[in-house]
Structure 1
Amino acid sequence: MFERDVFLRAYNIDETDFEAAAIPWEELAAIYDDYLSIEGKLRGIGKEFVNDYLYDIERAGIHSYRYRTKNPGHLLEKIIRKRAEQPERFAMIDRTNYHKYITDLIGIRVFFLYREDWIYFHNYITTVFENNPAGYVEDRIRDFDEDPGHFYIAERPKVYRRNGDTRIYDESLIDIKSDGIYRSLHYIIKYRGYYVEIQGRTLFEEGWSEIDHDIVYPYFKDDEMLKDFSTLLNRLSGMADEMSSYFRRMKSVREEPGKNRKERRALTGGGNIWSEQEER
């Protein structure tokens, strides 16, 4: 474990923010050591999850996916930040229960080529996992299910959408958050005794998010110039998604006449079997 001052400098945490978190450095060090001892296990759980539920991307309704376990330093940074932002909710977090509070120790990203395709993944994931609102976790300690064999969706699915985005989400199915510029679907799955966080984005959204997290969040989130550049890139990614949707619609319009000709030929029995080129 690295020294406290080295950690605070590395993660751009000033002394005031650390004191506001009101958690001893010794407890953070114990969490760090415990997490290192289970990280390999978590990596195996994540691999098992994607192999069992996401490997068949057509069945899952996605373009692609990737997964990771949380970086140990980022885990401590998140605990400090959450303790400072929500002291009452995270007051009891410690080395024995941090896995009940932090829902992204195992993180999975699923990607869509077109953002309207979110509904296919939503229908899939809410079918293969129990999605009972009565089982949603509110109190991280009281509501934690100790049964590692009980797999279920632990929070109401939600989506963060940018103000001005096309309204493609159904609020009867998913909780819609419209603040800010962040775009992502979120599902929290209880699996093998731990939480797995699934985030769903288009490929363009993922490109913006990766750059934003690499440069702006969380270390330079107060830098106005970097925030402005990130906002501009976010708008461009949104425009790219809109254009992708238009491309697909135009493709459908142009394919329709050809489809009708093929149907007429099949009904009349005229001509040879369609060529591979015609099928395309």
Structure 2
Amino acid sequence: MIDRDGFLKSYNIEQEDFEAADMPWEELAAIYEDYQAIEGKLRNIGKDFVYDYLYDIERAGIHSYRYRTKDPGHLLEKIIRKRVEHFERFKDINRTNYHKYMTDLIGIRVFFLYREDWIHFHNYITSVFENDPGLYVKDRILDFDGDPKHYYIAERPKVYRRNGDSRIYDEDLIEIRSDGIYRSLHYIIKYKGYYVEIQGRTLFEEGWSEIDHDIVYPYFKDDEMLKDFSTLLNRLSGMADEMSSYFRRMKGTKEAWERKIEEAEAREDLSGKTND
């Protein structure tokens, strides 16, 4: 069995937070062991998803992708954290149903060069999977579809956008949330009996997010100095995204201008030949 004290220390979980979660360590350890037993299966499901839907990146409208299964220790840490933050919502989670609550056991990241390219992936993913609001999960237990052959989008797609972002998202297509921190698309898809979480970001956003997650979140999120450095890096990544979009617009304007010049020259040549 996983050692409780060693786990709490490794994941920087205070004793009072563990007690506030009000979940027996034996149950958490059972979840840990069960998840270890199925992690290989989940990894193969993620591999199948990538092969079936993302391998052709041009068809999917993305630059690249990667996938992973959740680390067993991070799974326990998240369960504890969620029970502290939203006890009523997670009070019934246990070793037999945790996969119905945790929508990111299989996680996939898709990346874009330009932030405006989100619409290409959105149109693609909502065309290859059923996107019926009537299927969106509200109750994690009652609304769980046990049919492993029923593939569908299980939550309304949403995007977290930066404060000050230009209007590049359509709220008729996607739920827009503004938190001023980062920009990221989120899709939860039911696939082969489990949820698959897809996050979409630009390459610059992913660079900042990975560094922030490695250093700050969630264990040092209260450290003011680290938060300030992360905020600065976040601003730089946002500026890089802005510059990338501007760079592409400049290229498009330049190409359009050159086409007009070529067309004008072609008309002049044709006029001269006619006069001759």
Q: C-alpha offsets along residues 192-231 of structure 1, whole Å, 9 cap, x if unaligned? A: 0000000000000000000000000001000011001111
**What residue is the counterpart of 2:143 in the other structure?**
143
Partner of 1:181: 181
- In the other structure, the counterpart of 2:79 is 79
What does residue 55 of structure 2 align with? 55
Report the CA distance shift for 1:261/1:67 in structure 2 as closer, same or farther (over 3 A).
Answer: same
Aligned residue in 2 for 1:24:
24
Q: 1:14 to 1:179 in 2, by over 3 A?
A: same
Question: What is the aligned partner in structure 1 of residue 67 from structure 2?
Answer: 67
Q: How does 1:223-262 map to 2 (within 5 A)?
A: 223-260=223-260
Q: Which residue matches 1:119?
A: 119
- TM-score (norm. length: structure 2): 0.94
Q: How big is each residue's C-alpha offset from its partner over 1:35-89, in whole Å with a ceiling of 9 and x where there is no partner?
A: 0000000000000000000000000000000000000000000000001100000
Q: Which amino acid aligns with 1:157?
A: P
Could you say what secondary structure the match of 1:141 adopts?
Answer: coil
TM-score (norm 1): 0.93
Identical aligned residues as a percent: 80
- How many pairs are equivalent? 270
Match of residue 222 from structure 1: 222
- The 2-side partners of 1:268 and 1:166 are apart by 41
Extract unaligned runs of 5+ from structure 2: 271-276
* 1:258 CA displacement: 3.0
> 2-side partners of 1:229 and 1:200: how far apart?
24
* Residue 265 of structure 1, CA deviation: 8.5
- Structure 1 outlier segments of 4+, above 4 Å: 261-270
Q: Which moved more, 1:69-78 or 1:157-166?
A: 157-166
Partner of 2:15: 15
What is the one-letter code of the residue matched to 1:148?
A: P
Q: CA deviation at 1:165?
A: 1.7
Unmatched 5+ residue regions in structure 1? Answer: 271-280
Q: CA RMSD in A?
A: 1.6
User: How far did residue 261 of structure 1 move?
Assistant: 5.4
Q: How far is 1:167 from its partner?
A: 1.9
3-state SS, counterpart of residue 186 of structure 2: strand
Structure 2 residue aligned with 1:103: 103
Q: Are the structure 2 counterparts of residues 266 and 199 from structure 1 closer, same or farther at C-alpha, using a change threshold of 3 Å?
A: farther
Instruction: After TM superposition, give the deviation of residue 264 of structure 1 in Å.
Output: 7.1
Report the CA distance shift for 1:244/1:146 in structure 2 as closer, same or farther (over 3 A): same
